[in-house]
């Protein structure tokens, strides 16, 4: 696999890589609807669309996956330096080119406004990512109650920073044909940016804001949501010049060869050989837990794991987890519990034999890696609307659901406690997105992750002998890790090999127990 991948990666530097980036002046500027519509419209033409989402986003990525008909990947300049971002992009496209029967197109959806980043310099902005990939940018311009002013805004945006390629603009939220005609004349008179099309103002936003219609069925979309994708694809095909958009994507230059290896971790190789079977790592992907980076799952497979997809609640066509007494003997060597919305499934999760078996598996030494929603399954219970729903009871804490986010954004910290997955002293970057907070009945146990940025599980109190400036995250029990922090495997090269190694060791232990 590695040899073929290397050949494909080299080929990507000389073969065409059609690509475009969708951005806007601000969040809510219509880029998601445009990206979804373009993905579905080009896919309907037989073009193989590989979607990417900029930043740590699971929900938009799920919509893009369904619009394009293939899993979206994330590109995040906060956790990966430029060379590794290019390497990851090339890796994904190389895999696609090796087997694609038709033309391929990479479509990158940005986030927020084009130049909005983490500081006054725009660090980690969509513009920075577009420069890194030398990717032509299409601007979604919200033209609500504007005509000539749009030209001034476009002129300012396109001349603000050097090194960007602009493919054109899409006039969004057009009120009438007269409005469109006026805008086209303004663009022709005052800008060098071609108008690629004009989308009418929609009476109702088809994509709800929080769960965006996905949580009821996990990362799969319902038939009604699929119809929405078809509607957006038809809308874009009707109102945009798709040939010009595709021509701009094809005109993107080859990427340079100064890329780095994405997956190889120094000193780590696959532990699995013909005589040592692959350890089975189960991961829950259903309506309750479905926040997984495709890159994390691929990293585990590349490190030697066999992945087993499990489902605890409805809404996903995954293999169900064992029930009843069978739950005590589930045929996996480790568990990966991602994020999601378990607070919406408290009754079903609390009654699940799988959840009730978690503490026994942890006591037996099974490796369990849990992020955010997955961590909530390991608590004493989830409290919502004044009612407590018992959960796995591995850690002495209650996850209290709140109406507002309790942690949102990027996270950076240092691994401070011993654990099976990360060396102590490792600088760790990730992100958090959680509506729950921790309620401790007694003094909290030691934490394994000291955060310099982010909320995590809370702030250390003065009683801990600290100044309270840092937050903490990361609970460890035997081979269990639980945190609110989500990590991105290409940025933490030790995680997958260490997780697979722990699963391999437990597989040997489990086999001895079965014969003992």
Strands 381-384 and 280-284: unpaired
448 lies in the same domain as 372: yes
Judgement on whether residues 189 and 289 belong to the same structural domain of the protein: no
30 and 100 share one domain: yes
CA–CA separation, 306 and 355 (whole Å): 22
Coil, helix or strand at residue 110: coil
Same domain, 241 and 335: no
Do the domain assignments include residue 170? yes
What pLDDT was estimated at residue 226?
A: 82
CB 477 within 8 A of CB 370: no
Query: 80 Cβ partners below 8 Å, 6+ apart?
Result: 88, 488, 490, 491
Residues 290 and 246 in one domain: no
**CA separation for the pair 97, 34 (Å, rounded):** 25
* Pairing mode of beta strands 387-390, 368-371: unpaired
CB atoms within 10 A of CB 329: 10
How many other CB atoms sit within 10 Å of the CB of residue 359? 17
- Its pTM stands at 0.89
Residue 390 resides in a domain: yes
The Cα 219–Cα 206 span in angstroms is 17
CATH code, domain with 284: 3.40.50.880
Residues 470 and 452: their CA atoms lie apart, in Å, by 6
50 vs 100: CA distance, rounded Å = 11
Q: Which DSSP string do the residues of 407-430 spell out, in sequence order?
A: EEEEEEEEE-S--SSS-TT-EEEE
Of 229, 250, 271, which one is at a domain's C-terminal end? 250
The set of residues, in sequence order, having a beta carbon less than 8 Å from that of 222 and lying 6+ positions away, is 213, 216
Which DSSP symbol is given to 265? P
> Distance of alpha carbon 336 from its chain centroid, rounded?
15
Q: For the chain, what is the domain count?
A: 2
Beta strands in 119-234 (DSSP E): 137-142, 166-174, 195-200
Residues of the chain with pLDDT under 50: 1-11, 210-217, 265-271, 316-318, 462-468
Please state, in angstroms and rounded to a whole number, the distance separating the CA atoms of residues 437 and 434.
Answer: 8
Distance, CA of 226 to CA of 67 (rounded, Å): 8
Please give the DSSP secondary-structure letter assigned to residue 242: H
Residue of 372, 402, 438, 494 with catalytic role: 372
Same domain, 466 and 510: yes
pLDDT at position 227, please? 84
Q: 284 with 246, same domain?
A: no
Q: Is residue 330 part of a domain?
A: yes
Query: Does 327 lie in the same domain as 211?
Result: no
Phi, psi of 24 (to 5 degrees): -155, 180
Residue 191 lies in a domain: yes
Q: Is residue 60 part of a domain?
A: yes
Q: What φ, ψ does residue 190 adopt, rounded to 5°?
A: -120, -5
Q: Which residues are paired to 429 by β-bridges?
A: 412
CATH number for the domain including 111?
A: 3.40.50.300
Pair 82, 133: CB distance under 8 Å: no
Whether 406 contacts 459, CB under 8 Å: no
167 lies in the same domain as 309? no
How confident is the model at residue 15, as a pLDDT? 60
Q: Is residue 257 part of a domain?
A: no
Compute the distance between CA of residue 15 and CA of residue 255 in angstroms, rounded to an integer. 10
**What pLDDT score does 269 carry?**
45
467: Cβ–Cβ under 8 A, 6 or more apart, which residues? none
Q: Are residues 298 and 242 in the same domain?
A: no
Q: Please give the Cα distance from 294 to 53 (Å, whole number).
A: 12
Q: Is residue 271 part of a domain?
A: no
Query: Are 430 and 479 contained in the same domain?
Result: yes
Structure confidence at residue 388 (pLDDT): 97
- Beta strands 387-390 and 381-384 are antiparallel
Token pair 């507002």: residue? 404
In this predicted model, what pLDDT tens digit does every residue of 397-441 receive, in sequence order? 999 999 999 999 999 999 999 999 999 999 999 999 999 999 998
Provide CB contacts within 8 A for 324, sequence distance 6+.
353
pLDDT score recorded for residue 290: 92
SS3 content of the chain, % helix, strand, coil (to 5): 35, 25, 40
Residue 371 sits in which domain range? Answer: 280-515
Query: Which of these three, 250, 266, 293, is where a domain ends?
Result: 250
Looking up tokens 């000193």 gives 267
Helices and strands counted in the chain (H then E): 14, 26
Which residues face 477 on adjacent strands? 480
Same domain, 55 and 145: yes
Whether 438 sits among the annotated catalytic residues: the reply is no
Supply the DSSP symbol for 99. H
In a domain, 260, yes or no: no
């Amino acid at each position: 696999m590695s040899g073929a991948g290397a050949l494909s990666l080299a080929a990507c530097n000389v073969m065409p890589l059609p690509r475009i980036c969708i951005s806007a002046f601000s969040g809510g500027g219509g880029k998601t609807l445009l990206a979804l519509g373009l993905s579905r419209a080009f896919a309907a033409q037989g073009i193989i669309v590989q979607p990417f989402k900029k930043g740590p986003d699971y929900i938009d990525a799920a919509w893009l996956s369904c619009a394009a008909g293939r899993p979206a990947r994330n590109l995040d300049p906060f956790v990966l330096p430029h060379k590794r971002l290019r390497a990851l992009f090339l890796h994904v496209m190389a895999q696609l080119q090796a087997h694609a029967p038709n033309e391929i197109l990479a479509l990158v959806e940005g986030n927020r406004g084009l130049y909005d980043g983490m500081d006054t310099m725009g660090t980690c902005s969509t513009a920075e990512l577009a420069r890194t990939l030398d990717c032509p940018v299409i601007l979604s311009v919200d033209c609500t109650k504007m005509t000539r002013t749009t030209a001034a805004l476009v002129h300012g945006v396109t001349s603000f920073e050097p090194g960007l390629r602009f493919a054109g603009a899409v006039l969004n939220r057009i009120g009438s044909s007269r409005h469109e005609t006026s805008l086209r004349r303004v663009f022709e008179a005052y800008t060098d940016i071609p108008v690629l099309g004009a989308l009418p103002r929609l009476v109702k936003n088809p994509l709800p804001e929080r769960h965006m219609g996905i949580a009821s069925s996990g990362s799969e979309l319902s038939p009604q949501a699929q119809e929405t994708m078809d509607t957006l694809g038809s809308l874009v095909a009707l109102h945009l010049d798709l040939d010009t958009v595709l021509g701009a994507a094809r005109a993107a230059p080859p990427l340079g060869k100064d890329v780095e290896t994405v997956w190889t971790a120094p000193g780590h190789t696959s532990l699995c050989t013909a005589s040592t079977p692959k350890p089975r790592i189960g991961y829950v992907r259903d309506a309750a837990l479905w926040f997984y980076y495709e890159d994390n799952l691929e990293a585990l497979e590349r490190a030697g794991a066999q992945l087993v997809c499990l489902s605890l609640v409805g809404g996903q066509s995954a293999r169900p987890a064992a029930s009843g007494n069978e739950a005590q003997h589930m045929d996996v060597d480790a568990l990966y519990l991602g994020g999601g919305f378990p607070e919406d499934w408290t009754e079903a999760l609390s009654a699940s034999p799988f959840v009730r078996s978690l503490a026994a598996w942890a006591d037996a030494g099974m490796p369990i890696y849990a992020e955010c929603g997955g961590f909530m399954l390991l608590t004493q219970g989830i409290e919502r609307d004044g009612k407590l729903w018992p959960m796995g009871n591995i850690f002495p804490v209650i996850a209290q659901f709140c109406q507002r986010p309790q942690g949102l954004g990027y996270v950076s910290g240092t691994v401070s406690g011993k654990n099976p997955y990360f060396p102590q002293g490792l600088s760790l970057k990730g992100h958090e997105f959680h509506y729950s907070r921790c309620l401790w009945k007694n003094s909290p146990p030691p934490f394994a992750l000291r955060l310099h940025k982010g909320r995590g599980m809370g702030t250390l109190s003065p009683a801990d002998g600290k100044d309270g400036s840092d937050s903490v995250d990361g609970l460890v029990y035997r081979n269990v890790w639980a945190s609110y922090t989500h990590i991105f495997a290409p940025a933490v090269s030790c995680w997958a090999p260490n997780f697979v190694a722990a699963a391999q060791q437990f597989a040997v232990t489990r086999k001895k127990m079965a014969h003992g």
